[in-house]
Amino acid sequence: AQSVAQPEDQVNVAEGNPLTVKCTYSVSGNPYLFWYVQYPNRGLQFLLKYITGDNLVKGSYGFEAEFNKSQTSFHLKKPSALVSDSALYFCAVRDWDNYGQNFVFGPGTRLSVLP
Amino acid sequence: KAGVTQTPRYLIKTRGQQVTLSCSPISGHRSVSWYQQTPGQGLQFLFEYFSETQRNKGNFPGRFSGRQFSNSRSEMNVSTLELGDSALYLCASSLAGTSQETQYFGPGTRLLVL
């Protein structure tokens, strides 16, 4: 079965500094990986995804993620954090056990960007 | 293009009652998935519908059910509510639900069971 780990419950970073939110995965077959962000009392917003090709994926709001097959990681990064980036971030992988039609989500990482 | 909409946004019920939640996908999207989000269990897959057929189901009891209409709108029903059913229920849509597609999420329905 597919699984996703986000080893940090909370990440604190100062505004203007680079940020990294970590994600590792375990899948059988090709990994299709996604990052979503959730603001308070809101649904999930899509940030970016890795399907195939270039290991560095660029997404919305200046975020990017690096796919590393040997380390089975898909860390989310941003060169310069904004206070408005403070939110809950979820890494997700397609669940091949269910024919790829649903996500398995990580537990989420709460990002706090301090002014 | 309008996003995924969910109604109602908030709901308070008592134990033993039943509830129906509604989801309207993005126009043209035929796959609708439902997820339950709780602080303890995180985000868990409930079921997925495509062309009015349940194509996939997560590990939830039979009290949780759903359906999809010909216009792709979907409803989920929870019967005999329990306190543990209190959660944010999220609906997501995609064109055909294939593995490479992005799922787009609605704002959710927050259900409180007293």
Residues of B near A (CB-CB distance < 8 A)?
4, 6, 31, 33, 35, 42-43, 45, 48, 50, 55-56, 58, 90, 92, 97-100, 102-108, 110
How confident is the prediction for chain B on average, in pLDDT? 94
Burial class (CB in 10 A: 0-12, 13-18, 19+), B99: middle
Evaluate if residue A23 carries a pLDDT over 60: yes
Asked if A108 is an interface residue toward chain B (Cβ–Cβ < 8 A), one would say yes
Which region, left, alpha or beta, applies to residue B30 given φ > 0 means left and ψ of -120 to 50 means alpha?
alpha
In A, minimum Cα distance to B33 occurs at: A102
Q: What is the pLDDT of residue A34?
A: 94
Which region, left, alpha or beta, applies to residue A41 given φ > 0 means left and ψ of -120 to 50 means alpha?
left
Residue B20, C-beta contacts closer than 8 angstroms, at least 6 positions apart: B75, B76, B77
Check residue B59 and report its DSSP letter. Answer: S
How confident is the model over B61-107, as pLDDT tens digits? 999 999 999 999 999 999 999 999 999 999 999 998 777 888 899 99
Task: Give the number of other Cβ atoms within 10 Å of residue A109's Cβ.
Answer: 20
